[in-house]
Amino acid sequence: MLRKIVVCACVVVFLSLLMPSRLFAQAAASGTPAGRWRTIDDRTGKVKSLLVLWEADGKLFGRIEKIVNPDADNPNHKCIHCSGAMKDKELLGMQIIWDMKQANGSWAGGYIFDPDNGSTYKCTMTLEDGGKKLKVRGFIGISLLGRTQYWDRDENSGQ
């Protein structure tokens, strides 16, 4: 009897470790950007942070979950380039994406906040490469006046 309990407990633990990565794999297959993403630093080409994106009330939101390669000038992970209420707030857990709505195969109509310069931009997002990449474009006014980044889906999100 004890052996059955131990085996069942091990199976439950094993399945719970696999569950988050399965859920994110399902999100990628279903055409939603919900899940964890690795942001890439434009200057170094290295992973900079992990973001988690989620859907609520038909809109997409995102927050910083982990700083992977911290800025040497900002060892405490604070929003040092922000102003107003965001000044010196923790970057970890900070919501930087809000009100994105699905439209014509992409997400648009929302905003993205760049803590590196303290600015907020209009945003569009499009899944590419079968949901493994996310094209993120932040812009002022019209989409031609902006910058595009490509984020990689974090396939190891269960760890």
Of the CA atoms within 13 Å of residue 48, those in its CB half-sphere come to 18
**pLDDT computed for residue 21 by the predictor:** 40
Stretch 90-115: mean pLDDT, rounded?
A: 95
112: Cβ contacts below 8 Å, ≥ 6 apart: 62, 96, 97, 120, 121, 123, 136, 138
Average pLDDT score, the chain:
81
* Tokens matching residue 104: 């014509």
**pLDDT computed for residue 10 by the predictor:** 31
pLDDT in tens, 23-81: 344 444 458 999 999 999 888 889 999 999 999 999 999 999 999 988 888 888 999 98
| Residue in 56, 38, 5 with CA at minimum distance from that of residue 159 | 38
Angle at the Cα of 107 from the Cα atoms of 102 and 108, rounded to 5 degrees:
105
Between 116 and 55, whose confidence is greater?
55
CB atoms within 10 A of CB 79: 19
Q: Which CATH architecture has domain 2-153?
A: Beta Barrel (2.40)
According to DSSP, the β-strands at 146-153 and 35-40 are antiparallel
Strand (E) positions, 30-128?
Answer: 35-40, 47-56, 59-67, 95-103, 106-114, 119-128
